[in-house]
Amino acid sequence: MLRCEAVGKRYGRGRWILRDVDMKVSAGDVLAVVGSNGSGKSTLLRILAGLSQPTSGSVSRRPSHIGYVPDRFTAHDRISAISYLTHMGRIRGLSASAARTRGDHLLERLSLVGGRDASLRTLSKGNAQKVALAQALLVQPDLLVLDEPWSGLDASAHGVLAEFIDEAAARGGAVVFTDHREAITETHASGVYVISDGRVTLHGGRHAGGRASMVELVLAVPPTGVMPVEVNWSALPGVVDSARRGEEVVLRVAWEHSDAVLLTALQHRWSVAGLTGTVGEHDHRFDVRRSAL
């Protein structure tokens, strides 16, 4: 899909921020760009999104539908969140009603605090970030460019953002994001580009075999002895298998639904005895036991 060849960038006669950057972004890729403050991550993302022209080199085969979330979304407009999204949807070619419906749906998934009719200027940083994220997803993007998208988001929105990234990649789009935290890039990216001294190098990815697609969840009676409420686990979205092992319940859950199932279990007074990520049928990646939880 997108290809950068020998891309370099400098502003005026200043120092070279990027030099000889070769980068290939293919459909379905989830790529992280990491580097220290001021290393040029945002500049690289702006070039990928078509906002900035490279001083040297070329960027080719940029897709038409690009979603872009800037590193800070200083929302001081009086316009309401849903009205802003409706306008952005219209600009992207949606009808007003389709844009409004899609905006509503995205804000609902992101659990925007303050309501859809709150003006942007009244939103907190995290909630403004949710609106910024929603506008990038109004139309399914072929390329989703996210500049530190997790910053300011609460824990529940982290999960939703991960779902958005997975959905975009699953539909054949590509995702490129930056973040300082290694844990985040390792968890979400299939490839990591590191920027240092203006040079960009590919450092492979965290998972040679792909993201854990299933989660095995072991639930037990809490040590306090309080009896948990029985739940029809098979009826929950994403639960592909449920089995009893003594007093424990073992669930196999699709990764994207694991947070919701875990929340349901905790709300029904179950205790988490184990949590194992798996790829298909084989155990992989992480195994978190009670002590770690």
Per CB under 8 A, residues contacting other proteins are: 11, 46, 49-53, 64, 66-68, 70-74, 77-79, 83, 87-88, 90-92, 132, 135-136, 145
84 and 131 in contact (C-beta within 8 Å)? yes
Q: How far is the CB of 100 from other proteins (least distance, A)?
A: 13
Closest CB to other proteins among residues 88, 212: 88
Amino acid occupying residue 242: S
Which residue in the block uniquely carries the two structure tokens 């980068």? 23
Q: Which helix (H) or strand (E) holds 198?
A: none
Closest CB to other proteins among residues 46, 252: 46
Q: How far is the CB of 61 from other proteins (least distance, A)?
A: 15
258 and 212 in contact (C-beta within 8 Å)? no
Indicate the pairing of strand 66-69 with strand 248-254: unpaired
DSSP SS3 for 156 = helix
Helices (H) and strands (E) in the chain, counts: 7, 14
Closest CB to other proteins among residues 78, 282: 78
Closest CB to other proteins among residues 106, 261: 106
Q: How far is the CB of 54 from other proteins (least distance, A)?
A: 11
Closest CB to other proteins among residues 71, 248: 71
Closest CB to other proteins among residues 148, 216: 148
Q: How far is the CB of 49 from other proteins (least distance, A)?
A: 5
Q: How far is the CB of 43 from other proteins (least distance, A)?
A: 10
* Closest to 133 measured CA to CA, from 145, 117, 115: 145
How far apart (Å, rounded) are the C-alpha atoms in residues 136 and 142? Answer: 11
Closest CB to other proteins among residues 9, 252: 9
* Closest to 126 measured CA to CA, from 157, 85, 163: 157
Instruction: List, in order, residues 6 or more apart from 97 with CB less than 8 Å away.
Output: none
Q: Which helix (H) or strand (E) holds 181?
A: none
How far apart (Å, rounded) are the C-alpha atoms in residues 102 and 26? Answer: 26
Q: How far is the CB of 50 from other proteins (least distance, A)?
A: 7
Closest CB to other proteins among residues 74, 201: 74
DSSP SS3 for 205 = coil
Q: How far is the CB of 139 from other proteins (least distance, A)?
A: 9
CA distances, 5 to each of 1, 17, 19, 46, 48 (Å): 13, 16, 10, 15, 12
Q: How far is the CB of 105 from other proteins (least distance, A)?
A: 18
